[in-house]
Structure 1
């Protein structure tokens, strides 16, 4: 059931059939055909997280395409865990371009969406002409699969590991506390490190007193709450359950990102900056903003200014 989103004149969605599933897609700037930009949300988010960027990019001359990726919103939620691996996630974006008859596009990602964009550029480099990623830098493929490595470093209670080792447990906790979890998560300028950071997500779900200043009002928050009460969290968490599978998928792939790239960090984000990013992304610019993890929602004006100024370099 599609919920009409009325905040900020957010565009209505369409359900389109691609890659064997259905995606809920929001569009703006349809008159700017031929100049596509695709915005990819993170976890646990929604296309609505780009509400401040969509009108600015459309006004600047872009055909803005914003999917709820598989597992989110009113998009398909396959039951099989492997249906959420990086091959399926990137193939969805390729099929989205095919649907609109675009050879390539500018891709913008935040958090998990950034991970998908990085890997799209590795697996389908001809479909990506520029990259703008927020919060999550390129993830180097090390000698050990990612979940195995994280368990050795952080222990079995680290939420990435917990999601994989105890399937269904976190899903149920977050679903039973969806509103509290999302209200506690979307906070300004607060590093996401409660007393037991290993159990981060479930601690946030159960915390009685939120910390930090909210990044959105109750009306906007209700969009996320309603979406996750409808979809649940299983599909979204299944993205994490494919990290080691993704590690194997990428084994023989050239790890260098060749497209022009802008990386935007939040200086108060708990995710560390990747000091060797330019080794893997040689055509790189970096911007740091004084905010936490939810960059485009915490500092929308500054984010829009950074994105548009960078893109303008290529339009002269």
Structure 2
């Protein structure tokens, strides 16, 4: 009796990019699918997608965004602006010997993926967005918008934008902070309705003051948490947080794309309990104009923010079905 083919091995490599180097983790062969993580994560966030995409006939590649993991960490805050991250993604595609790729992102990675498709459509032929909807550049300067949110409280984005401030909260206890942050935004462990919102900080307080204590979400065991914590204990959080510190620069850099749609074939998957989905409901409603190539859109009941880790089987089924339906 014929034996099943062995699973494709996972390989790690460093490839050149404008950042210096980007760490990529690769499994499988076939059309290239580039997977871009969000905050505060790493390539490891795609550990449950890599083997499934490889088995479905794709070259699945998850990267560490600049500032994370084994990728380069420039010291200049402005080095983390969106256009720099787009060019890192282009460099990865070319370093892997490919001309085009499908790009899929989660959280900040979704925004990076959408802008990669917007700015470099000749490289990124389709785009999948997880958790964070696409919203075109427009409106007032983002820093001004975030500063007005929350009333007497401070929105977490504004909190993250001040250099060194969030680092002082997180870095003395990286593992504990990450555990609380992941739990605060996960279906099943997030604070109940009516409790203080963990996306906001009391004046003079800390973000972690509103995290649920002593509970890990079902998708995260102690070993997984150790992987994330070890990376950030080694690298610190500044590179990751510098993404938030460039939102006004992005608004300036992308002025030429004001209101522009992403026209490639696209996919959106969100969690019904995720603030990114509920707060940005208008962005989702605008998809006929902003994502005219949208092939399917899904909002998963009972799911929080960490969607491909909370619901790996459902997300994998959606991803492989969408990829199979893409034009050749």
Do both proteins adopt the same fold according to a TM-score greater than 0.5, normalized to the shorter chain? yes
Inter-partner Cα distance in structure 2 for 1:177 and 1:303: 31
Partner residue of 2:201 out of 199, 206, 212: 199
Q: Where in structure 2 are there 5+ consecutive unaligned residues?
A: 1-6
Q: Between Structure 1 and Structure 2, how many residues are aligned?
A: 305
Aligned to 1:268: 273
1:176-212 CA distance string (max 9 Å, x none)? 1211111112233145786253229943378572457
Q: TM-score, normalising length from structure 1?
A: 0.90
Following superposition, the deviation at residue 17 of structure 1 comes to 2.0
Aligned pair partner of 2:58 in 56, 62, 70 = 62
Gap runs ≥5 in structure 1? 1-7
Whether contact under 8 Å (1:174, 1:202) holds in the other structure is no
**What's the counterpart of residue 3 of structure 2?**
none
Q: Does 1:236 align with 2:240?
A: yes
Partner SS state of residue 177, structure 1: helix
Q: Does 1:302 align with 2:314?
A: yes
Q: Secondary structure at the match of 2:143?
A: helix
Corresponding residue of 2:89: 93
Name the residue aligned to 2:223: 219
Runs of 4+ that moved beyond 6 A: none
Is 1:278 the counterpart of 2:288? The answer is: yes
TM-score (norm 2): 0.86
- Indicate the RMSD between aligned Cα atoms, in angstroms: 2.3
Superposed counterparts of 1:114-193, under 5 Å: 114-154=110-150, 157-164=154-161, 166-187=162-183, 188-189=186-187, 190-191=189-190
For the residue of structure 1 that corresponds to 2:71, the secondary structure is: coil
Matches of 2:11 and 2:96 in 1, distance apart? 17
Partner of 1:76: 72
Q: Distance in 2 between matches of 1:56 and 1:69?
A: 22
Q: 1:10 to 1:270 in 2, by over 3 A?
A: farther
| CA distance 1:192–1:244, shift in 2 (3 Å) | farther
1:311 lines up with 2:323 in the alignment: yes
